A and B are shown apart, each in its own frame.
Chain A
Amino acid sequence: GAGVSQTPSNKVTEKGKYVELRCDPISGHTALYWYRQSLGQGPEFLIYFQGTGAADDSGLPNDRFFAVRPEGSVSTLKIQRTERGDSAVYLCASSPGAGGEQYFGPGTRLTVT
């Protein structure tokens, strides 16, 4: 079956621009997670949705970062006024329910120049 998909796979943007990263979870999975992975580090939690609502957004670094999941399936991570320090791989994961094992997508590599 289809796994978690993320688009685009790579995104290069200039400092100060706005970007959107998309995640399509495994069909039927109600929980969706966003993580950020910097080079040589483990993934760091950003935000987690249960259905349409954000259950925990404690990992979002500042108010430039925002995520939505309006219909409880696809999610979009939005970053305003990008900075060079935002460059990382953004990973999305989904699980059948809250607290279940998480299955990751291939990630979006964001480069801010």
Chain B
Amino acid sequence: GEDVEQSLFLSVREGDSSVINCTYTDSSSTYLYWYKQEPGAGLQLLTYIFSNMDMKQDQRLTVLLNKKDKHLSLRIADTQTGDSAIYFCAGDQGGKLIFGQGTELSVKP
């Protein structure tokens, strides 16, 4: 089945760009998603990309998809302290989502 992997931690300074990376094994996902989870809260859908796209930009967020390398990334421009959270990538498999283990982003002032 699908396996999705992410690095566990990322620390950046406020105002810098953050890049969160994700690799996956199954290329049959139609969509790939990024979710944000703040402490004690549910998952917030940030953005998603269709599998036949290479890039999607949405305000401060840029998603890059490299299908050949099965690599997905989320870039957050001008990172703010309010961006501190856990970020999950996920691919869809017949309707259900397969999640990575999450990357904890820490933004230092």
Contact of B42 with A by CB under 8 A:
yes
Binding stretch for chain A, among B13-21, B62-70, B73-81, B99-107: B99-107
* Cβ–Cβ < 8 Å partners of A41 in chain B: 101-102
Q: Compute how far the CA of A91 lies from the CA of B96 in the bound complex, rounded to whole angstroms.
A: 13
Question: Which residues of chain A (11-69) have a CB below 8 Å from chain B?
Answer: 31, 33, 35, 40-45, 48, 50, 55-56, 59
Q: How many residues of A contact B (CB 8 A)?
A: 26
| A55 in contact with B42 given A40-B101, A41-B101 (CB within 8 Å) | no
* Cβ–Cβ < 8 Å partners of B30 in chain A: 99
Binding site for A on B (CB under 8 A): 4, 30-31, 33, 35, 41-45, 48, 88, 90, 92, 94-102
Binding site for B on A (CB under 8 A): 4, 31, 33, 35, 40-45, 48, 50, 55-56, 59, 91, 93, 98-99, 101-107
User: Which 7 A-B pairs have CB atoms at the shortest separation, nearest pair first?
Assistant: A42-B99, A104-B43, A45-B96, A106-B42, A104-B42, A42-B101, A43-B99
